[in-house]
Amino acid sequence: MAIVVVGHKNPDTDTIASAIAVADLWTKRGMEAKAIAQGEIAPETAFVLKKFGFSAPEIVTDATDQQIVLVDHTDLSQSLDNLEKGEILGVVDHHKLGDVTTPNPLEMWVWPVGCTGTVIKAMYDFFGIEVPQNIAGILLCAILSDTVMYKSPTCTPQDKEAVEALAKIAGVADVMALGMEMFKVKSAVDGASANELVFRDYKDFDMSGNKVGIGQLEVVDLSMLDAHKDALQAEIEKVKADGRHSVFLLLTDIMKEGSEMLIASDDASVVEKAFGKAPAGKSIWLDGVMSRKKQVAPNFIKAFEG
């Protein structure tokens, strides 16, 4: 049975592209592997896969009896069901180390860079395996997506170098034009339900025993969301009521380089603790905040610690 390579729930472009690329790498190293996904892909990812000729990976949500490589996450709350009933062979990631543990030794490729795609480019180089042209295309899109076209504070020089090298392989002449095209697709919110929008890029965290959800919508202009805000607020209240302490939704303006955060919480004082600023009603503008991973989740983790 093939090894399965899987990213986090509510898959984003990095999670899908990385699963496809790592499955290619593992297979070429002599260990047959295939990419799977834990859910439907988002419009941005659909655009990227179509552009480079891939179809969406099969959806699988249970780890029982599988051999698994995790990409783009190591948090149990973001991983397959029954993970302890599978065997984790490897991890390729760029997040804080989560709470996944293994009884056996494993291969770990975890770097503090802007995207799993950047780590994977280095893996191809390490093993002396050529990056296929179409995989170079999806990896470079993943890096542009995760780093918000280099604007996110998570972006490192390695990410830019990886994009430059991958662009040559993929034959992409104007990387930034491709990035803008991709973010325009990502920004399209009309026709999507509030529930779809909240969960389009959403993660649950365990923060000192509290279940906390943080979603993010990245748009090229925040005013596109004006007509949707009330419905989004009502939706995160609903999601919170389903067994969570808090749900936060970041509405990120990639041009203004900041986020409006919508708040649904049993104790909204955690917001002031996390950001040193009291929210105005049920939302707060966070200037310069683009990254859930680097500028939001760690602040809340600390705030919940006390």
| Contacts with Mg ion, 80-119, as mask; x by CB under 5 A | ------------------------------------x---
Give whichever of 24 and 44 is closer to Mg ion, judged by the CB atom: 44
**Shortest distance, position 162 Cβ to Mg ion, whole Å:** 13
Give whichever of 93 and 279 is closer to Mg ion, judged by the CB atom: 93
Which residue among 4, 5, 9, 15 contacts Mg ion (CB under 5 A)? 15
3-class SS string, the chain = CCEEEECCCCCCHHHHHHHHHHHHHHHHCCCCEEEEECCCCCHHHHHHHHHCCCCCCEECCECCCCEEEEECCCCHHHCCECHHHCEEEEEEECCCCCCCCCCCCCEEEECCCCCHHHHHHHHHHHHCCCCCHHHHHHHHHHHHHHCCCCCCCCCCHHHHHHHHHHHHHHCCCCHHHHHHHHHHHHHCCCCCCHHHHHHCCEEEEEECCEEEEEEEEEECCHHHHHHHHHHHHHHHHHHHHCCCCEEEEEEEECCCCEEEEEEEECCCHHHHHHHCCCCECCEEEEECCCCHHHHHHHHHHHHHHC
Give whichever of 20 and 279 is closer to Mg ion, judged by the CB atom: 20
Give whichever of 146 and 204 is closer to Mg ion, judged by the CB atom: 146
Total residues in contact with Mg ion, by rule CB under 5 A: 6
Which residue among 3, 10, 12, 74 contacts Mg ion (CB under 5 A)? 12
> Which of 7-15, 125-133, 190-198, 269-277 is the region at the interface with Mg ion (rule: CB under 5 A)?
7-15
The residue behind tokens 């002396």 is 128
| Contacts with Mg ion, 121-160, as mask; x by CB under 5 A | -------------------------x--------------
* β-strand partners of 34: 4
Closest CB to Mg ion: residue number: 14
**Shortest distance, position 12 Cβ to Mg ion, whole Å:** 4
Which residue among 6, 10, 14, 284 contacts Mg ion (CB under 5 A)? 14
**Shortest distance, position 151 Cβ to Mg ion, whole Å:** 12
Give whichever of 24 and 146 is closer to Mg ion, judged by the CB atom: 146
Which residue among 24, 44, 72, 204 contacts Mg ion (CB under 5 A)? 72
**Shortest distance, position 30 Cβ to Mg ion, whole Å:** 27
- Residue numbers at the binding site for Mg ion (CB under 5 A): 12, 14-15, 72, 116, 146
